[in-house]
Amino acid sequence: MKQTTELTPTMLAVLATIKAANGTISRFPGGFWKTDILAPKSYGTTTINALEKRGYIEWTDMRRHSFDSGEFPIKAKLTNKPLP
């Protein structure tokens, strides 16, 4: 699988949304990510994970799975990496 650092239009929109929302985004039940419960737009976990892998966001809070001992991220914030 080819590794890329390019950002899609959706990723750029997510970064702009997070920046406008005090730099944080949260995961809501059902696995979608929003800046707050009233935000009109939500984003998928794949997009959020891609931004974390590229170093634009970092996990700030985790939740334990109810069915095993693993954890998954439920909150993220912008890093100091310059935004495109």
Domains in the chain: boundaries: 9-78
Looking at residue 67, its pLDDT comes to: 77
Q: Is the pLDDT of residue 25 over 90?
A: yes
CA 32, 16, 56, 58 dihedral sign is negative
What pLDDT was estimated at residue 1? 45
The model's pTM is: 0.86
Helices assigned H by DSSP within the chain: 9-20, 45-53
Evaluate whether 26 touches 74 at the Cβ level (below 8 Å).
yes
pLDDT in tens, 62-76: 998 777 778 899 999
Please give the average per-residue pLDDT across 33-54, as a whole number.
92
